[in-house]
Chains A and B, each alone.
Chain A
Amino acid sequence: MSELTQLGVQAIRDGVAGGTFTAREVAEACNAAVADAATLNAFIVTTPDHALAAADQVDADRAAGRPLGLMAGVPIGMKDLFATRGVQTTAASHILEGFTPQYESTVSQRLWDAGAGMLGKLNLDQFAMGSSNETSHFGDVVSPWRRSGSTAGLTPGGSSGGSSAAVAARLAPAATGTDTGGSIRQPAALTGICGIKPTYGRCSRWGIVAFASSLDQAGPMARNVTDCALMLQAMGGFDPKDSTSLDLPVPDWSGALDANLAGKRVGIPREYRMDGTDAAILKAWDDGIGWLKDAGAEVVDISLPHTEYALPAYYIIAPAEASSNLARYDGVRYGLRDLPQGANLQDMYAATRAAGFGDEVKRRILIGTYVLSAGYYDAYYTQAMKVRALVARDFAEAWDKCDVILAPTAPTAAFALGEKLSDPLAMYLGDVFSVPASLAGLPAMSVPAGLDGAGLPLGLQLIGRPLDEQGVLNAALAIEQRAGFTAQPDRWW
């Protein structure tokens, strides 16, 4: 494979701008890598022509001396949760199979406007519900990573598993992800790449197939902190079409990156030292503490007392919203319609949903419907919303003592495909470290910290104050510079 596929966002952009290579050469190299990696099942559809057309436009702009965008010449993967005009958008579900939007999501449009091209639509857990990319109607995504000496298929994490696999396998320098309870950070951690979920409201949700509206946030996944910062700048910004979008300018995060943490305090939440966390993860956490001290930060112990209630609250709130958000998939206007002989309207709804939704999606619709039902609403939904407020208050109080929080991203390294699929609770427990920041709407990022004994990547999570993506990125950069993480999966596919 060509060396161009080894390059990240910034390197490609600068190489294209400087004339070291053309955008078309990069697009061709990535298209070829995508075509050669069908085994990973990272893409639901590939769009090589889209990537080439965008590249040709950038090359033409450069030749004509026109200004180039932040992502000029960078081909990326687009999670198949973002509506893309004229390109099938499925949320990895059967019920939306064949659905081709006539509109483009705000985030994807901003990326195209910044000069990026699309290699294809990336696989994911169905409707972004899952932590292993095993709930997709289009099959599991297989991680490019394997345990040393093993050929067993591992999870790339989820729900942005196609994104993490594609970036880790050097099919794309970067990809979009979405994060509702950890769907950017956990797959990034499991595949040795970076991913940031910005503050809720930074990225428009317009045109993203909704899972849980009060939690869903888009963000970039790439192989280094700088690339994440650059791409987030291209993705973010106010959108009047999303009422929850923040009406704030997008800072120049990449330009302000600074790994010198002198004067910064890093909080270590004691409640995150949980039973069941891998020893290797705990060691990586300790390493991280050392690296941040080395970067000049002061390390302080903090308490986030409601942490243990965050996960159960999340698994009430997210399904509750999902049960309502997914009601529109009824077989009437688009996507799948299953109309048995002689069926009436209710029969058609039932048949369409039975055939169109996977088991995990059905499970969450049922949970969500239950917790919103008369007689249960206060005990579940109202209580969960109170917990959510308490979790947010924990963080708000922590910011009196620290500027950024360091914690593991996930309790384990990548697990085997099939290992947890039959045990949803075990699967849900994997989100224990990522969910609190989602409930509080805070910016949070995963950055590679090292490898475990089996040669699998481990990630560390940085959580910041509302709107302080810069603080998160800076601390992640300090870790990146000291962790010396250069490992990449050996090509077996």
Chain B
Amino acid sequence: MTDSSYRIHGATGDWEVVIGLEVHAQVTSNAKLFSGAATAFGAEPNAQVSLVDAAMPGMLPVLNRECIRQAVRTGMAIEAQINRWSRFDRKNYFYADLPQGYQISQLYHPLVGEGSLTIEADEKAGIPADKVIGIERIHVEQDAGKLMHDQHPTMSYVDLNRSGVALMEIVSRPDMASPAEAGAYLRKLRAILRYVGSCDGNMEEGSMRADVNVSVRKAGEPLGTRTETKNVNSVRFVMAAIEHEARRQVDLLEDGGAIMQETRLFDPGTGTTRSMRSKEDAHDYRYFPDPDLLPLELDQVFLDECRESLPELPDAKRRRYVEELGLSDYNAHALTAEVETARWFEALLLTSAAAQNKVLANVAKQAANWLLSELMGALNKAGRTLDDGAVTPESGAELLALMGAGTISGSIAKQVLDSMIATGDAPGVIVEREGLKQESDSGAIEAAADQVLAANGDKVAQYRGGKAALFGFFVGQTMKAMAGKANPQVVNQVLQAKLGPAGEA
């Protein structure tokens, strides 16, 4: 582990930044944590509210095991200790978006204990080596409803659709030392959640948001007083909030001020944070065990099932791509960073290997390079994405097979790909329709080559006089004469035969 070189340069010298993140991740499940109401995003206000969610008198919570299963699987994915005995506590406070007057959470005995994840070296971002970030705990809790202040001139409305939705609160250790590390941590966590399928990681829809704890100190000094910036909802904003907050703290300290332990809010418009409430008027949440719920005890069968249902995770996948498929570190990382990309790549790999009758490792490089450079580039240019179906792993594999068999050249393949994206047609159909099949008939190529050589007698003489670089010119001209459809290998062979080696005139 190498320390970050990130420093805030103050008037009195350099300051280190210490960052911890509490990430709230919405658990992917059809029903809420303690009620059967639906959890879909974007429903009409108050359309997904059960009697329990609305805190009607006499209503009782019943735990949704699927949410527990997802949280346990998440814990396993960060190699955390899973607590076989955990308990739910009530966190009491009054707010109109909290119908019960308490949130059911887990303070004293969380479901998941100590774990960690690794962020990868990124020289450009100032992360010189892989770094392990500790995760203190994951606990499960209810989300609150949402107040709407813009519906009526004098009243606020409340939408309880989110009330009772299951969240995982994932609490990191204060192990991050730069905005880049915090960003890398969030992206890695998001990737793991999406691999596991326990959270869709959609920050715009509020499925994932972070409370950002920041403090500053001079090198070697004990931890400074921290502030907590609440509910930051994008990786970019988290990084901006840290940058601003660290700078603010350094300026304040250097001006002789003191940091107050307080809760702050991030303003995405200005990129700044402002005070929300100080520790003095912090709530006394009066946590106590929820008497409506029994302690949660997990048996071995349940835990085994959770573990068996885990997919291959990004770190393991990346290692396998390098070690077994022979991909570069860079490509392996790029292919595994997002679960969708990895899934797409593996489907492409399987179909390609089958189509070309080769083992995976023998098509992996071709598939990886094509996916990352050709396909991603072409999709970007067309404003499309990998998962919108314009190109499928099957059609991609067909295209790769056409190239592999020499039916089309690489440059024609680019043309075919653009056409696939535009029309959604299969590559074979496009090649046939547009007559793009590569010409490997040496007779036609010889005729074209003869014309090119005849028309460029001077250059032929120069070549034979020793200007070997002109060979490429003849190839280009011959290809042009063949409208790009000639097999480059055959063109090479034909020209070499006709011209002989350079400089032996």
Contacts and interface: CB of A to CB of B under 8 A. Distances in A.
Given A333-B99, A372-B92, A213 B291 contact: yes
Contacts of A134: none
A328 B90 CA distance: 13
Given A206-B60, A208-B58, A349-B94, A328 B288 contact: no
Interface residues of A, number: 44
B58 A105 contact: yes
Given A103-B51, A243-B292, A328-B101, A206 B94 contact: no
B54 interface: yes
B94 A330 contact: yes
Interface string A46-86: 00000000000000000000000000000000000011000
Contacts of A330: 94, 96, 101
Nearest to B293: A243
B495 interface: no
Contacts of B287: 372, 377
A320 B288 contact: yes
Given A243-B62, A373-B284, A212 B57 contact: no
A277 interface: no
A332 B286 contact: no
B101 A101 contact: no
B279 to A, nearest CB: 12
A133 B218 CA distance: 66
Contacts of B58: 82-83, 101, 105, 205-210
Contacts of A332: 96, 99, 158
B59 interface: yes
Nearest to A204: B60
B294 interface: yes
A41 B441 CA distance: 108
B61 interface: yes
A124 to B, nearest CB: 14
A209 B61 CA distance: 14
B102 interface: yes
A327 B104 CA distance: 13
Contacts of A372: 92, 286-288
B56 interface: yes
A58 to B, nearest CB: 27
A119 to B, nearest CB: 21
Nearest to B90: A324
Interface in B25-50: none
A212 B56 CA distance: 16
Interface in A197-211: 205-210
A379 interface: no
Given A91-B57, A332-B158, A327 B102 contact: yes
A347 to B, nearest CB: 12
Interface string B342-367: 00000000000000000000000000
B291 A321 contact: yes
B303 interface: no
A9 B374 CA distance: 83
Interface size class of B (residues with CB under 8 A): 20 to 34
B372 interface: no
Nearest to B284: A374
Nearest to A346: B94
B63 interface: yes
Residue from B54, B55, B288 whose CB has the most chain A CB atoms within 10 Å: B288
A89 B292 CA distance: 21
B100 interface: yes
Contacts of A105: 58
A61 B100 CA distance: 42
A345 interface: yes
A324 B60 contact: no
Contacts of B94: 327, 330, 346, 349
B57 A89 contact: yes
Nearest to B62: A243
Contact of A243 (B51, B59, B61): B61
B160 to A, nearest CB: 9
Contacts of B51: 102-103
Nearest to A93: B57
Nearest to A335: B57
A99 B57 contact: yes
Contacts of B102: 324, 327
B60 A328 contact: no
A373 B294 CA distance: 23
A240 interface: yes
B101 A333 contact: no
Interface in A228-255: 240-244
B55 A242 contact: no
Contacts of A374: 284, 286
Given A320-B288, A372-B286, A372-B288, A83 B96 contact: no
B344 to A, nearest CB: 42
A369 interface: yes
A210 B63 CA distance: 18
A485 interface: no
Contacts of A212: 291
Interface string A341-366: 00001100100000000000000000
Contacts of B63: 243
B162 to A, nearest CB: 16
A96 interface: yes
A116 B111 CA distance: 44
A328 B93 CA distance: 10
Contacts of B57: 83, 89, 91, 96, 99, 101, 209-210, 328, 334
A145 interface: no
Given A333-B99, A345-B96, A214 B291 contact: yes
Given A210-B58, A243-B294, A332-B158, A327 B101 contact: yes
20 contacts: A82-B58, A83-B58, A91-B57, A103-B51, A210-B58, A213-B292, A241-B62, A243-B292, A244-B293, A323-B286, A327-B100, A328-B57, A330-B94, A333-B54, A345-B156, A369-B286, A372-B92, A373-B284, A373-B286, A374-B286
Interface of A: 82-83, 89, 91, 96, 99, 101-103, 105, 205-210, 212-214, 240-244, 320-321, 323-324, 326-328, 330, 332-334, 345-346, 349, 369, 372-374, 377, 381
Given A207-B58, A209-B58, A210-B57, 13 more contacts: A96-B57, A206-B58, A242-B60, A242-B62, A243-B62, A324-B102, A324-B288, A326-B101, A328-B55, A328-B99, A345-B96, A372-B286, A373-B284
The 9 closest A-B pairs by CB, nearest first: A327-B101, A214-B291, A372-B286, A213-B291, A328-B55, A207-B58, A209-B57, A83-B58, A374-B284
